[in-house]
Amino acid sequence: MNIDEELKEGTVFAGCRIAGKIGQGGMGTVYKAYHEALAKDICIKFLSPDLARDQRNIEFFMREARSAARLDHPNIVHIYNFGEENGVYFIIMSYVDGPSLSDLILEKGPLPVEAASEIIIEVLEGLAHAHSKTIIHRDIKPSNILMSSDGKPRIVDFGLARSINEEKQLTMAGEMVGTAYFMSPEQGLAAAVDHRADLYSTGATYFYILTGRNPFEGKTSIEVVHKHIGEPPPNIVLVKPDVPLWVSTIIDRSMRKKPADRYQTAEEMASILRKYLKEGMPASRSRDIEIPGLTLRVPADADQQAAPAEGRPSPPAGADAPVLPETGGAAQPAQPAPAAPAPAAALQHVHLHRTIKFLQHLGISLLAPAFALLAGSSGAGYSGDLHPLLAPLAYKPAIALLCLALSAGLFFWAQMIRHYRFAFWHAILSLTALGAAYSAGALIYNQAGFDTVSRAFLAASMSFMGAFMIGALPVYVLFLLLAGSFLFTSQRPRFKAAAALSYALAMAALYAYLKPSPPDAMDLKHLLVASALALAAIAYGATHSKFNLFLNPPVLMTAALAVAFSGLLRPAMEKEVRLTASKEAERVKVLRRQETLRRQMLLAEEITEYDLEGRPIQRAPLPDIDQVIPQRTAAEIRLLAGGNFAKKTRSRIQADTASTGALLLLAALLTVLTNALYVSESGKYYRRESES
């Protein structure tokens, strides 16, 4: 059925007389009609026939109808009927004789604070009703809010709505739902979503109708979603300076990255918005609000105020200075105005605050692996058959679990005090450091009788002394590879130079650890390929700051180290092949000798047997000795030698790790790296705040 051709003006469909087409949406077409039974104008939304071919689209469309039909609120469009007729799926809803909020902003521009706040309050009241019915809209945006002729907003399009109690989920695993410009971070991450996602979208909508621009802009939807996930929302006071500070407070809290940091209910957000709209923000609280990028400019501006005309000094801006009376036409000398705070002092306070935050992060990041080390060390003296990593939990579970809980708590605390709260690599490096510290305590060789603290101290001492041994070089190779990879993401030349130096030192450390004997035994081909890959990694990292999946310094340098590793071990590998071939030849020689002796004994003991006619019975000849004792081929010998060589190499690295305390050294170096990342992320955060 072609809806546009058959639903002409005057056509009757499901008891409604079609008046005309009024809109086109992602799911279908909307028509205005007259409901003859209700004697009122209504809207009919039809599912597109192309979409109706997919059962999942039908489920989405009908779920919108079922969700909205459960709601009865003046700020939500009312559903009168829905279903299917003649193969066409439809929803009959109330007609709103006005534009969408998006069209209103495009036509008249940003709204005043009072009008915008009243609209948002009513939207929140509608959402509160939907949430009380366990319905989450998941696509709140200006185009889904219609403005009736009396100025009342109506929420429409529950096509992405979901019931919290609904068992059947129509969104696939890892699928984002919502509109990018107003999507909450958890929707962008395709994570679990609750009613607080609607509050985030409402805050973004509030920002839009006050400024006429989206909170985040980007060339693609993916870029916008990434900004919702990782970047703080712009301060609306910097975009529109005439809005009250409480507006910035409400938008900032409603658009927090973590749902637990936002308003927890629509009623709470609406009541606070209603209170601020009526009473304003208390003066004490207004003075405490910090506006990044603007606060530091106020002292400098205060020093540049011009003196007024006629020789009368003026009070400092913002001060309630008294007006001095005039006597005899002569101006009385004014009291000296208090001096404005010096910009240098303000900057000193800012730098002190940032330094304290860094020291706090440093202390927490050092304490977390320290408690992990104590947890691993608590397994001292365990004589059971469990793996050493599980021994602490079996031998002293109370101490081990307490220390692990403290370590985990400090890890999450370190994430919370960061400006971007959660970064993948920062978390991975921190967790790896905790795991290395725990393993260092659990795997250190120690006799029974040492207590937990003594064993942890022994592990730390071994790590300090082993840091200068050649057996610790693999840890330095890994650290230099990671440090150089992070440094190459910077656009500053000195950081790129440091990254290139890190890569060169990583290659040198690997060579020093696996240096062949004699030194010229390394395969020249491996050396050339490894050098070319390392130079490519350095050159590409020096000329680019953004990388793709394959052309990026970490991948190229990892490949260079792998080729160098293979080339450096090649002489030892060939020696192992020759040794295995010699052992194989000796094994075959012994077996052949044994088989020959066995056959000789059989011949000596053989008794001739005769058949019934007296003829000797001929025995089958013995198989060839090469069939009885097959010799391994060259490929099989090389494969066996490779397995033996891999075991020996792994045993060597494990022995070096245990003897030098390399695991704890790795934890310390990764902690240093996480703090360096914290400083880098803080710098980016403050630069963006100052630029916005």
pLDDT in tens, 462-485: 788 878 888 888 889 999 999 998
CA dist 533 to 485, 530, 572, Å?
A: 14, 5, 23
Q: Same structural domain for residues 462 and 499?
A: no
Q: Same structural domain for residues 503 and 597?
A: yes
pLDDT at site 384 = 65
Q: Is residue 31 part of a domain?
A: yes
Report residue 81's pLDDT band, with 50, 70 and 90 as the boundaries. Answer: confident
Q: Same structural domain for residues 206 and 65?
A: no
Give the end of a domain, one of 71, 94, 117: 94
Report residue 380's pLDDT band, with 50, 70 and 90 as the boundaries. Answer: low
- pLDDT, average across residues 352-369: 86
324 vs 154 pLDDT, higher one? 154
Q: Is residue 476 part of a domain?
A: no
The mean-pLDDT minimum among 326-335, 417-426, 554-563, 666-675 falls in 326-335
pLDDT at site 480 = 93
Residue 95 in this model has a pLDDT that exceeds 80:
yes
Q: Same structural domain for residues 651 and 685?
A: no
Top-confidence range, 170-184, 347-361, 533-547: 533-547
pLDDT at site 170 = 38
Residue 174 in this model has a pLDDT that exceeds 60:
no
Give the DSSP H or E segment for 34: strand 28-35
Q: Same structural domain for residues 275 and 418?
A: no
pLDDT at site 330 = 39
Q: Same structural domain for residues 656 and 675?
A: no
The two three-digit tokens of residue 668, written as one number: 């310390």
pLDDT more than 70, % of the chain: 80
Give the DSSP H or E segment for 80: strand 79-85
pLDDT at site 449 = 54
| Number of domains comprising the chain | 4
Rounded Cα distance, 114 and 247, in Å: 11
Give the DSSP H or E segment for 587: helix 553-605
273 vs 378 pLDDT, higher one? 273
Buried b (16+ CB within 10 A) or exposed e, 367-387: bbbbbbbbbbbbbbebeeeee
pLDDT at site 548 = 74
Structural domain including 190 reads: 101-288
The two three-digit tokens of residue 154, written as one number: 């109506």
Buried b (16+ CB within 10 A) or exposed e, 284-313: eeeeeeebebeebeebeebeeeeeeeeeee
Q: Is residue 323 part of a domain?
A: no
Rounded Cα distance, 130 and 72, in Å: 9
Q: pTM of the prediction?
A: 0.45
Q: Is residue 672 part of a domain?
A: yes
Residue 310 in this model has a pLDDT that exceeds 60:
no
201 vs 333 pLDDT, higher one? 201
Rounded Cα distance, 641 and 634, in Å: 10
pLDDT at site 450 = 65
Q: Is residue 615 part of a domain?
A: no
470 vs 152 pLDDT, higher one? 152
Whether 653 contacts 513, CB under 8 Å: no
Find the angle CA(492)-CA(495)-CA(496) to the nearest 5 degrees: 85
The mean-pLDDT minimum among 322-326, 333-337, 513-517, 571-575 falls in 322-326
Q: Same structural domain for residues 279 and 370?
A: no
Residue 280 in this model has a pLDDT that exceeds 90:
no
Backbone angles phi, psi at 11, to 5 degrees: -70, 140
Q: Same structural domain for residues 152 and 37?
A: no
Instruction: Name the burial class of residue 75, with classes exposed (0-12), middle (13-18) and buried (19+) by CB atoms within 10 angstroms of its CB.
Output: buried
pLDDT at site 256 = 93
Buried b (16+ CB within 10 A) or exposed e, 178-216: bbbbbbbbbbbeeeebbbbbbbbbbbbbbbbbbbeebbb
- If you average pLDDT over every residue of the chain, what do you get? 79
pLDDT at site 688 = 67
User: What tens digit of pLDDT does each residue of 642-690 get?
Assistant: 888 888 888 888 777 776 778 888 899 999 998 888 888 887 777 766 6
Residue 302 in this model has a pLDDT that exceeds 80:
no
Residue 516 in this model has a pLDDT that exceeds 60:
yes
The mean-pLDDT minimum among 9-18, 588-597, 650-659 falls in 650-659
Cα 338 from chain centroid (whole Å)? 48
Q: Same structural domain for residues 376 and 419?
A: yes
Residue 100 in this model has a pLDDT that exceeds 80:
yes
The mean-pLDDT minimum among 169-173, 231-235, 375-379, 606-610 falls in 169-173
Top-confidence range, 248-252, 601-605, 645-649: 248-252
Q: Same structural domain for residues 22 and 90?
A: yes
- pLDDT, average across residues 6-21: 84
Instruction: Name the burial class of residue 230, with classes exposed (0-12), middle (13-18) and buried (19+) by CB atoms within 10 angstroms of its CB.
Output: middle
The two three-digit tokens of residue 637, written as one number: 């010998």
Q: Is residue 320 part of a domain?
A: no
Q: Same structural domain for residues 348 and 495?
A: no
What 3-state class would DSSP assign to 160? coil
Residue 93: name the closest of 131, 58, 61, 119 by CA.
61
Report residue 405's pLDDT band, with 50, 70 and 90 as the boundaries. Answer: very high
Q: Is residue 209 part of a domain?
A: yes
Q: Same structural domain for residues 646 and 679?
A: no
The mean-pLDDT minimum among 291-305, 413-427, 455-469 falls in 291-305
Give the end of a domain, one of 30, 63, 94: 94
Residue 159: name the closest of 50, 67, 31, 55 by CA.
67
344 vs 483 pLDDT, higher one? 483
- pLDDT, average across residues 1-15: 75
Residue 293 in this model has a pLDDT that exceeds 50:
no
- pLDDT, average across residues 166-195: 67
The mean-pLDDT minimum among 60-64, 335-339, 565-569 falls in 335-339
Q: Is residue 317 part of a domain?
A: no
Whether 430 contacts 421, CB under 8 Å: no
User: What tens digit of pLDDT does each residue of 47-79 get?
Assistant: 888 888 888 888 878 877 787 788 889 999 888
Farthest-apart Cα atoms in the chain, separation? 164
